[in-house]
């Protein structure tokens, strides 16, 4: 169960999160920065709630940090047809 991947983008496991919290006596924010959990391609939109809940239990902190890592949308939305290489009528 500890090998369960919590953050797919950065391949951070439950074991990585808990071990980092215990080894460094780190805050939830520091664990996220050390493991890069929530900092992948999705920007934490997929794993952020799970990471926050796990770290709240592991560190004893509230899930909301004083300086939270933010979830940031893409700079500019892109259509799927553009990503697929198809030209659209303008």
- Average pLDDT along the chain, 90 residues, taken 10 residues at a time: 86 93 88 91 86 86 59 72 70
H helical segments located in the chain: 14-24, 28-35, 48-59, 80-83
Q: Are 54 and 17 in contact (CB under 8 A)?
A: yes
Domain boundaries, the chain: 5-83
Each residue of 41-65: pLDDT tens digit? Answer: 888 888 888 888 888 888 887 766 4
Average pLDDT value for the chain: 81
Look at phi and psi of residue 68 and say left if phi exceeds 0, alpha if psi is from -120 to 50, else beta: beta
């Amino acid at each position: 169960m500890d090998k369960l991947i919590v953050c797919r983008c950065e391949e951070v496991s439950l074991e990585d999160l808990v071990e980092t919290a215990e080894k460094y006596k780190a805050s939830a924010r520091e664990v996220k920065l050390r493991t890069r959990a929530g900092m992948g391609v999705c920007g934490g939109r997929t794993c952020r709630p799970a990471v926050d809940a796990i770290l709240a239990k592991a560190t004893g902190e509230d899930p909301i940090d004083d300086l939270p890592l933010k979830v940031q949308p893409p700079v500019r939305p892109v259509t799927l047809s553009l990503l697929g290489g198809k030209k659209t009528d303008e």
